Amino acid sequence: MPDVLDRARSVLTEVHDAVTSVDPAAATALGAAIASARTVFFDARGRSGLVARALAMRWMHLGLRVHVAGETTSPAITDGDLLVCLSASGRTAGPLANARVARARGARVAVLTATPDSPLAAEADLVVVVPAQGRQHGGSLFEQACLLLGDVLCGAFQEDHAIPDAALDERHANLL
């Protein structure tokens, strides 16, 4: 078995390279689109869906109106809203269908993908290419890079709006 810490260094290098390869203008545009949307919906499947949920939670902690697509309490998407889809392949059926619904309802669509020429990217108003070519198993690199990029965008928003950590703490879940 290879040395776990050597593997960790390799993974960290891959994540660093993926995140720093993202077009800064696209990342900034995504942050601005999220900040200006009336309501933000996140959508993804599988492990990318877990990342989407984590990012939705973080934006909610920052005080934005945020929902995860398909959840029981999610309202209808409408004009002025933003759907953020994560899909490395850009071919995941659920987000692709939801992107089409969002556009038909007048909402904007932002896509984080490793495949800029995908059907999902073609439905988007904003595409953030997250390169995910690495040695890790499955889609791990894409998911890790999206989580880190999303958290960095949240941190920049928090700093730009001078939101104290205590305000985030007030929005943390308090029911068991």
pLDDT band at 95 (very low <50, low <70, confident <90, very high): very high
Q: Catalytic one among 14, 143, 159, 170?
A: 143
- Residue 83 has φ and ψ, to the nearest 5°, of -105, 125
- Residue 43 has φ and ψ, to the nearest 5°, of -145, 135
pLDDT for the residue 134:
81
**Residue with structure tokens 């929005």?**
171
Active site residue 143: yes
Q: pLDDT tens digits for 4-29?
A: 999 999 999 999 999 999 999 999 99
Fold of 4-71+78-162: Rossmann fold (3.40.50)
Q: pLDDT tens digits for 117-141?
A: 999 999 999 999 999 888 888 889 9
